[in-house]
Amino acid sequence: MKRKAMFFPAALGLCLSAQARAQQAPDSRPLPVDQAAGTTLPAADLQDRPAEPAPPPANGLPDDPKQVQFTADQLDYDMNSDVVTASGDVRMYRESNRLRADKVTWDRRTGKVMATGNIVVANPEGDAAYGDSIELTDTLKDGVVDNMLVVLEAGGRIAAARGSRNDGGVITVENAAYTPCSVSDSSGCPKEPSWKITADRVVYDPAKHRLRYKGARISVFKFVTIPLPAFSHPAGGQSDSGFLTPDARYSRTNGLQLALPYFFSIAPNRDLTVTPRVFSDTLPMLQADYRELNSLGAFRLQAYGTYSRRADDLTVTPTPATLRNDFRGYLDLAGRYQLDTNWDVRASFRVASDRTFLRRYDISRDDRLRNNLAVERIDADSYFVINAWAVQTLRVGDRQGLQPVALPEIDYRRRLDDGLLGGKFDFEVNTLALTRTGGQDTQRAFTSAQWSIRRLTNWGQEVSLTAYTRGDVYNTSDTIATTVASYRGEDGFRFRGIAAGALDVKWPFVGEFLGGSQRITPRVQMVVAPHLANMEVPNEDARAVDLEDSNLFALNRFAGYDRFEDSTRFTYGLDYALYLPGISVEANVGQSYRLTTRPTLFPNGTGLTDRMSDIVGRTVIRFHDFVSLTHRYRLDKDGLAVRRNEIDMSVGSRATYVTVGYLRLNRNVDPTLEDLQDREELRLGARVQFARFWSLSGSTLIDLTDKQEDPLSLANGFQPIRHRIGLFYEDDCLRIGTTWRRDYATTGDAQRGNSYLLTLAFKNLGR
């Protein structure tokens, strides 16, 4: 029979809402009792239903929003009973809401409408509702559904043995279950969700996007059931105020710790999380996290506060001042505002009440806290920034008065075409003022210009020319407060002029090799720079200098501005690259020779002290995405002793891998230069995914420094710093795990010992 279409002047009501009912399936828990019928009801079934939502109408919707477009394979009318029956893929449309069922009957005398068989209702938001039978009034606005299932577009599904919807769209379901988890495995077969909430009653208000439960229980893997006497949460994809997942851990310093965060949803773009933390061995602590996103940018604020004994250094004899309780806390603020296309403002402030607070409460292991405020402008050819910097040291024994405050630092750079030879001009103007409450003060300003050009010859050489000039002015005071003489400079105003030129030639040879390609590139560089009055000005930003592959061919191999390498030198090296299917090898090696015979600026042990430098290089090997190896090294020019040996390697996939990091600096540097101390350390990490969702991970850090490398070292060849081992389960909606960590060093009141962390996170439970 041909399909027939009719238009009913009524509203779809329940059929058009975001709700539906689910099939019933046996469950291991006791079945609830239907008081009216005196029988038990099967538990709600969260599995997918075979029915599909009706496609949009081919001819569009009617102009009257109250009309319902109605199609069916067969339409019958019983004149005696005054009953209209539509059967065979019945479809009803109204205001982008769609209903599909096997059969719909309308008793015109009683006003009852009944839909049965593979019922699917879809609303404009994308929610799909399923049920076996729906009984409605003739207004089609409210009714009762048996065996319902609602699949929410925002995530999650609700199933119930019975449900009803009132005229306001609020859904009330009995003997219900909710889960945001997948209900099918990777093969598409049905499976029990990782966790679900079952309840005697669930009320869902679409206007508030919130689910409220009565007599609820949360079940994890059907083994652990946690009662939830009063519980509610936002539907998937929404955020609302409420408690978050608790945090439980144990540490040697603080004992057992329990935290229960509460989330305040202030607005869609603003929220606040307040977390009380209670400890068995010390006083409680309060944490607050605020976030905001607006039309200009975003910022966040994190704050901790407690009241306990300060103990920056436990090696000091206790006094009444160090034994008394006092406020302790930490503040972390970060934000960035984009004022327009070119201008932005950014800030980062971190301050702690004392030097061991962060380490004691396992918030951070940083030993310095940097604070910065910057106003920045960037366009295609220029860069301008005004910076303010301040540093708080957390190192026990360091003097805060020696930490500089940079206010202001101003930097402007501009690039222009030379307009004649095709080269580029780079101009820079920079000023900096460093102030210390208990140390040396320095003000610096300079302006520089650099011209560079790059050309390719007919034979394939790449030739680069660089010319550089700069003028500096310094004003320094209280230089005697700086203990390292080479860092001081001279009191008062000092002027310095810098000039340098460089010629750099590369000659790449490319060809086939072993079914792939290889590239061999010899490289030679000549740099010319006259003698400079470097020691008359202070060294604030060029202290941690070391010869590496990254700065071998640099115009100035000092890291900052305060020192400039004044020598005429030749630098030569070789770059190599091999690319095979799935395999790549990249390597470089080089050395430099200084023509100047005058004493060098570089400290002993940096590889640049003598006229002939040490040999430096890097090798990078990759095999598919399975193996990655990077090796950096520096060899002594005289006996090829290894002065720097650094290895970083990872083997495995994203799920299962091993990482190895090894560093040994054997440079024999003067012990007074703290920025260049030798050390040796080993870092190991691994993760093994032994099942689809289960993984075991671990890491360790070991200090291998001995007395010969660092006379002040306490490791004496082998000293574990910390290690951790963790066992985790994680799928699409659940993360659970446990971690054991051991610290081997005591810092202030952060005592060494064992810590344990229990992780339990229900994903997609609101936001």
Among 49-53, 330-334, 636-640, whose mean pLDDT is lowest?
A: 49-53
* Rounded mean pLDDT, 341-348: 96
Per-residue pLDDT band for 142 (boundaries 50, 70, 90) equals low
Is pLDDT above 60 for 344?
yes
Question: What percentage of the chain carries pLDDT values higher than 70?
Answer: 86
Q: What's the pLDDT at 185?
A: 78
Coil/strand/helix, residue 471: strand
Is pLDDT above 50 for 584?
yes
Inter-CA distances, 199 with 121, 235, 680, Å: 24, 16, 59
CA 548, chain centre distance (Å):
30
What letter represents residue 209's amino acid? H
Is pLDDT above 80 for 751?
no
Where helices occur in 357-436 by DSSP H, the ranges are: 357-360
CA 115, chain centre distance (Å):
50
- Higher-confidence position of 498 and 107: 498
Neighbours of 757 (CB within 10 A): 18
Of 720, 713, 712, 726, give the one whose Cα is nearest residue 752.
Answer: 720
Q: Are 25 and 42 in contact, with CB atoms under 8 Å apart?
A: yes
Among 173-177, 208-212, 491-495, whose mean pLDDT is lowest?
A: 208-212
Is pLDDT above 80 for 246?
yes
Q: What dihedral do alpha carbons 234, 239, 245, 247 form, nearest 10°?
A: -170
Q: What's the pLDDT at 500?
A: 96
* Rounded mean pLDDT, 584-591: 97
418's CB contacts (< 8 A; 6+ apart) are 424, 425, 451, 453
DSSP assignment of 121-188 equals EE-TTS-EEEEEEEEEETTSS-EEEEEEEEE-TTS-EEEEEEEEE-TT--EEEEEEEEE-S-SB-TTS
Q: Are 631 and 646 in contact, with CB atoms under 8 Å apart?
A: yes
Is pLDDT above 90 for 323?
no
Q: What's the pLDDT at 715?
A: 63
Cα separation, 105 vs 112, whole angstroms = 8
Cα separation, 662 vs 631, whole angstroms = 10
Secondary-structure breakdown of the chain: helix, strand, coil percentages, each rounded to the nearest 5:
5, 55, 40
Q: Are 355 and 364 in contact, with CB atoms under 8 Å apart?
A: no
Q: Are 566 and 531 in contact, with CB atoms under 8 Å apart?
A: yes
Q: How many residues does the chain have?
A: 767
55's CB contacts (< 8 A; 6+ apart) are none
Supply angle C-alpha 507, 511, 516, rounded to 5: 135
Per-residue pLDDT band for 20 (boundaries 50, 70, 90) equals very low
Mean pLDDT of the chain: 84
130: its two tokens: 């399923």
Residue 143 region, left (φ>0) first, then alpha (ψ -120 to 50), else beta? Answer: left
Q: What are phi and psi of 401, to 5 degrees?
A: -65, -15
- Higher-confidence position of 597 and 524: 524
* Rounded mean pLDDT, 333-341: 95
Is pLDDT above 80 for 17?
no
* Rounded mean pLDDT, 574-581: 96
Is pLDDT above 60 for 617?
yes
Q: Parallel, antiparallel, or unpaired for β 734-743 and 753-762?
A: antiparallel
Q: What's the pLDDT at 9?
A: 36
Q: What's the pLDDT at 745?
A: 79
Per-residue pLDDT band for 33 (boundaries 50, 70, 90) equals very low
> What residues does each domain of the chain span?
69-238
- Higher-confidence position of 637 and 108: 637
Q: What's the pLDDT at 11?
A: 33
For the whole model, what pTM was predicted? 0.76
Per-residue pLDDT band for 709 (boundaries 50, 70, 90) equals low
* Rounded mean pLDDT, 624-635: 95
Q: Name residue 270's beta-bridge partners.
A: 267, 292
Question: What percentage of the chain carries pLDDT values higher than 90?
Answer: 45
Superfamily name with CATH number, domain 69-238: Lipopolysaccharide (LPS) transport protein A like domain (2.60.450.10)
Q: What are phi and psi of 187, to 5 degrees?
A: -90, 0
Q: Are 351 and 366 in contact, with CB atoms under 8 Å apart?
A: no
Is pLDDT above 80 for 2?
no
Cα separation, 595 vs 598, whole angstroms = 9
* Rounded mean pLDDT, 723-752: 86
Cα separation, 661 vs 656, whole angstroms = 17
Determine whether 711 is exposed, middle or buried from the number of CB atoms within 10 Å of its CB (0-12, 13-18, 19+). Answer: exposed
Per-residue pLDDT band for 390 (boundaries 50, 70, 90) equals very high
Per residue in 162-198, pLDDT tens?
887 776 667 788 888 888 888 887 777 888 888 888 8
Q: What's the pLDDT at 388?
A: 96
Per residue in 211-234, pLDDT tens?
788 888 888 887 777 787 777 777
Residue 255 region, left (φ>0) first, then alpha (ψ -120 to 50), else beta? Answer: left
- Higher-confidence position of 80 and 409: 409
Per-residue pLDDT band for 34 (boundaries 50, 70, 90) equals very low
Is pLDDT above 80 for 535?
yes
- Higher-confidence position of 1 and 759: 759
Q: What's the pLDDT at 314?
A: 47
Is pLDDT above 80 for 104?
yes
Among 2-16, 556-570, 644-658, 697-711, whose mean pLDDT is lowest?
A: 2-16
Per residue in 297-319, pLDDT tens?
999 999 999 988 766 544 456 66
| The residue to which tokens 């439980």 are assigned | 248
Cα separation, 721 vs 705, whole angstroms = 12
Q: What's the pLDDT at 47?
A: 83
Q: What's the pLDDT at 750?
A: 74
